[in-house]
Structure 1
Amino acid sequence: MKTFIQNGASLTVAAPAGGVTSGSGVIVGALFGVAATTAAESEALTIATVGVFALPKLATAVLSAGDRVSWDATNHRCDAPGTGRYPIGVATEAAGNGAGTVKVRLDGVSTVAAS
C-alpha cells in the first residue's frame, strides 16, 4: 500500500521537558507511551504506544482487572480515572490498596486530560 508508513506500535518523538528514563510513562502532546530508552529533554525518544506494561500507580488506588486506567502526568503514575488525568488503557490484573504498580494494556489512541 503506497500510503502506509508504519504500524504505530512504537513512535519516535522528542523527549519532554526534564527528559525521561527507560520504562517510564510519558505524555507527549496527545500521545501516551512508555519510553524504550532514557533520553534528555528534546532528544529523540522511542515510545511504545501499545502493549501491556507494569507501570507505577498511586498506592491507595484500587483497580480491578478490566478497570480503566489513567495517567497522572504531574506525579508520573497511574490512577483511577479523574479530573486532570489522561486515559491510557485498561488494567489486566487487579492492583489493590498498597500495590505500587499496575499492569496496563495501553489503548494506543490519542488522549487528553479529563475535565
Structure 2
Amino acid sequence: MRNFIQRGDTLTIPAPADVLSGGVVQVGVIVGVANGSATQGAPVDVDVTGVFSLPKVAADAFAVGDAAYYASGTKLVTKTASGNTKLGVATEPAGSGAAEVAVRLSGAL
C-alpha cells in the first residue's frame, strides 16, 4: 500500500504538558499511555492500544467490561462519563478503595 503510514498502536505526538513514562497523555480525543518521559512540546511515544494498570478514583468500583474514563483534572481513571474522556474498558474487577484498575485502551478516536 502506498498510502500506509503506520500501524497506529503507538503514536508520536507533542507532549501537551510534562509527562512521566507510564502516565496518561491526552491531546484532543487521543488518549494513551506514555512510553517515556517528555517535557511539554517534545515528541512523546504514546500507546493507544493495550491493557495498562492505571491509578483510579478510590471510591469507584469497576467490574469487567465497565467503561473507564480519564479525568484530566485529577489524572485518574473514573466511571464518571460527564466531563471526562473515554479511555477504554476495565479488564479486571477493581473494588472501591483499590488504587488502580486494569484498562484496555480504546485507541485514538
Q: Output the TM-score relative to the length of structure 2.
A: 0.96
Structure 1 stretches lacking a partner, 5+ long:
111-115
2:54 maps to 55
CA distance in 1 between partners of 2:83 and 2:46 (Å):
22
2:16 maps to 16
1:74 maps to 73
* Preserved contact between residue 81 and residue 87 of structure 1 (Cα < 8 Å): no
Aligned residues: 109
User: Would you identify which runs of 4 or more consecutive aligned residues in structure 1 move more than 6 Å?
Assistant: none
* Preserved contact between residue 10 and residue 49 of structure 2 (Cα < 8 Å): yes
| Identical columns (%) | 40
* Preserved contact between residue 29 and residue 85 of structure 2 (Cα < 8 Å): no
Q: Report the residue type matching 1:5 in the other structure.
A: I
CA distance in 2 between partners of 1:55 and 1:13 (Å):
21
SS of residue paired to 1:75: coil
1:29 maps to 28
1:96 maps to 95
| CA RMSD, 1 decimal | 0.8
